[in-house]
Amino acid sequence: MEIADALQDLIDREVGWIRTELEAGEIEFALRLVPDLLTHVRALLGDAPVPALEPPATTGDSRFDTLVIAGIRWAMNSDADRPWSAPEPLPTPWYPYDFRSVTEAWLVLSKRETPAELARAGIIFREGGLLST
């Protein structure tokens, strides 16, 4: 299987899992799947050139769609090639863990540590949380 096919299958499968969790109302679990997706994309791609890919299917939530596209673009770790264009920025900035109570200091830190790819999309997500361990 070529890397493009393997990446497409991986993205399609894992975005499907995120969609399933969102449909079940499991927002927190869906968020836990995003770092797994990004970690798997980065590991599978390695140092290979970024192949042409179809954009991921919708998760059913425009915020998650934006997070997935911006996150995958970030995970590909390549300034030169990306399989699709950057997502349109969200109309208002989104901190995905907004269902938890956080301090203003935490939000400031999160904004400062958000990768540019996500910040441009209007998503506040600390880089340290984007990859699973």
In this predicted model, what pLDDT tens digit does every residue of 25-73 receive, in sequence order?
Answer: 999 999 999 999 999 999 999 888 888 899 999 999 999 999 999 999 9
94-125 pLDDT per residue, tens: 999 877 778 889 889 999 999 999 999 999 99
Q: What is the 3-state secondary structure (H, E, C) of the chain?
A: CCHHHHHHHHHHHHHHHHHHHHHCCCHHHHHHHHHHHHHHHHHHHCCCCCCCCCCCCCCCCHHHHHHHHHHHHHHCCCCCCCCCCCCCCCCCCECCCCCCCCCHHHHHHHHHCCCHHHHHCCECCCHHHCCCC
Name the more confident of 5 and 104.
5
pTM value?
Answer: 0.93
